[in-house]
């Protein structure tokens, strides 16, 4: 229970940011946040002070910096209403305007594991994929272009902080070390190889639109945390130069093909004679 309470304090910035529950009520102030946590403890089966099972789940719904924060919050509300209608939950919007620690608009959503009828959340990979797609669909309804992508596809090996990360020995932890497992590293290598193949295929196309996509893909991949871990700054620069040179060579070849006169067939020459 201590982890849940600490997490609520964290996402609400100790009550400074507005927290919203499943009823749409606003929880503001540290005392109100503490009170909500106490209500959760007895909302169903009692959550013990020390529990050996997961009593709550933390979901982060995030979008790029230029996304409208109000649209992100609206989509998060719709998503939570559809997916967790029988559970207690609370959410907080973090955005650059109200939270100096935030670089992009995102919503922290905490959900009580046990529902009102006794059922417990036990999300599998298929459920997580459905959650991502559901949130993307709600954003699309609001006119925001969004697609559901896995964290690994974006080159992000480090997962979001869990409830436990925010409550270790009774204190909040500002940062935590990255300890990637062997399986995660293998997945990351496969993702980088896939992106490289995509960029090579696009750069080898004869279409200007594909060249533009190749350049955008190269810029996207170059900024991935995975690339920063795998390559030094010099190696990343060399990788970028090589990919851009390949695109430039293809562009020059295409222009040469366009500018060169079409060959004259021998039969046509003989006829002219």
pLDDT tens figures, 14-60: 999 999 999 999 999 999 999 999 999 888 788 888 888 889 999 99
* 3-state class (DSSP) for residue 13: coil
Residue ending a domain, among 166, 190, 206, is 166
Query: Residue 158's pLDDT band (boundaries 50, 70, 90)?
Result: low
Give yes or no for residue 177 having a pLDDT over 50: no
CA distance 55 to 71: 29
What stretches of 63-128 adopt beta strand conformation (E)? 89-94, 106-112
Q: Please report whether residue 272 resides in a domain.
A: no
Residue range 62-92, pLDDT digits in tens: 888 889 999 999 999 999 999 999 999 999 9
Name which of 45, 65, 67 is nearest 55 in CA terms.
45
Indicate whether 40 and 157 sit together in one domain. yes
Number of domains into which the chain is organized: 2
Residue 271 lies in a domain: no
Is the Cβ–Cβ distance between 213 and 145 less than 8 Å? no
State whether 70 and 125 are in the same domain: yes
Same domain, 32 and 143: yes
Assessment of whether the complete model's pTM goes beyond 0.85: no
Residue matched to tokens 């500002």: 174
Range of the domain at 33: 2-166
Whichever domain contains 29, its CATH number is 3.30.930
């Amino acid at each position: 229970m201590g982890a849940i309470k600490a997490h609520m304090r964290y996402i609400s910035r100790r009550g400074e940011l507005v927290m919203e529950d499943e009823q749409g009520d606003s929880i503001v102030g540290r005392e109100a946040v503490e009170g909500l946590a106490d209500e959760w403890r007895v909302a169903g089966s009692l959550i013990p002070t020390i529990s050996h099972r997961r009593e709550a789940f933390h979901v982060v719904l995030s979008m790029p910096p230029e996304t409208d924060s109000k649209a992100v919050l609206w989509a998060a509300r719709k998503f939570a209403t559809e997916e967790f209608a029988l559970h207690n939950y609370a959410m907080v919007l973090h955005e650059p305007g109200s939270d100096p620690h935030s670089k992009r608009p995102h919503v922290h959503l905490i959900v009580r594991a046990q529902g009102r009828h006794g059922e417990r959340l036990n999300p599998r990979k298929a459920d997580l994929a459905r959650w991502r797609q559901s949130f993307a669909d709600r954003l699309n309804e609001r006119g925001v272009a969004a697609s559901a992508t896995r964290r690994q596809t974006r080159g992000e090996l480090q997962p979001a902080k869990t409830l436990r990360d925010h409550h270790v020995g009774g204190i909040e932890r500002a940062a935590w070390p990255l300890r990637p497992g062997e399986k995660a590293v293998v997945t990351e290598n496969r993702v980088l190889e896939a992106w490289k193949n995509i960029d090579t295929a696009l750069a080898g196309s004869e279409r200007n639109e594909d060249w533009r996509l190749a350049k955008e893909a190269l810029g996207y991949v170059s900024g991935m945390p995975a690339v920063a871990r795998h390559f030094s700054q010099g190696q990343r620069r060399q990788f970028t130069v090589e990919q851009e040179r390949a695109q430039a060579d293809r562009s020059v070849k295409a222009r040469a093909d366009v500018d060169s006169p079409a060959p004259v067939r021998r039969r046509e020459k003989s006829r002219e004679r």
